[in-house]
Structure 1
């Protein structure tokens, strides 16, 4: 039973309007994209510029130039092992394939430098150069680097080469993963989109409160007393 009709219908009206706006947000009204996809892409383009760690990583791997390592890497499949071996041989290392296993010997600094070079190309949306270099798709190349770095980190840790394991993990997280995740995204300065950013943040707050007050008014219209 409705105790306070004015409050109830105010809440109902707000709730209906809330879902109308929600419906519109899922419609492709912004350059063929819906509001959520547009905002997701916008924040990706803005954040890309602040996620470029590769120049710093190039300096951090310098002390490992000439550091010779021998590692036994266990890959997931024979195909992955063969493709990863190509990455390592292009880095100047030797890679002996035995099924899904790789026995790698080479200069850790040179391996990481090649990994960073590929990551840099990927981050700057020049994936065609990577696919031409290795003969298979660039995203698979970066994924193989990711898998190789995980296995290298594991093996270096097992050998108690903790500093070496740490730098490999840093390259994986700050270069390979960032390059893969931001591939094909064109960076945008927040200054160029400051109006849209402010609007989105204000809208988020208002839209959240909008839903909350619609529920509040509905329940109070039913006669339930909610503190506010």
Structure 2
């Protein structure tokens, strides 16, 4: 009987060790896979090279945590949902703050003012942007941005016309694919508007989850706001 109990105890110990070894091995494989993914993308993208450098600076424990978060379907679904829920200037924290989804704006008029750039001519070019970003352990993983360019009167700061709108994205997440739609722009009242549509697709391993959203920016010199619309 004692031998049998001893056998069961040893079997449980061996099993737990095997599970730990398998989990560690699985995490190491994810680290290798993700790094290989970044290395391949970095060949033609300097921004990916920057992210690869940031990833390499993480400790092994942090890298393990990073890839477990990246390959976590539940967290990814919540992050994509936050894309349609979050308001400009807000942020959503997931996984105890290790994953952050935020919406930010930027305005060339305010940027130039802080830099000491002076307006000398009547017609000036300006722009405003609205950007949605997901970071994991402080490293940007996916971002969507709409930027609208406009011309304004330098003496009155009133928008004369909208000139162009560009929607762009960056994505270093192997589980999702982001595509840009055709952007549009217009002037209404005192504001220039830009509309940038995007679609996010989950890959096969993610379950083909998708979300389509338009990021709209409304701006004039010294003022930017924006919102999202499901499409």
Same fold (TM over 0.5): no
Higher relative contact order (CA 8 A, sep 6+): 1
Q: Whose helix proportion is higher, 1 or 2? A: 1
- Work out which of the two has the higher radius of gyration on C-alpha atoms and give 1 or 2: 1
Normalising by structure 2, what TM-score? 0.27
Q: Greater strand share, 1 or 2?
A: 2
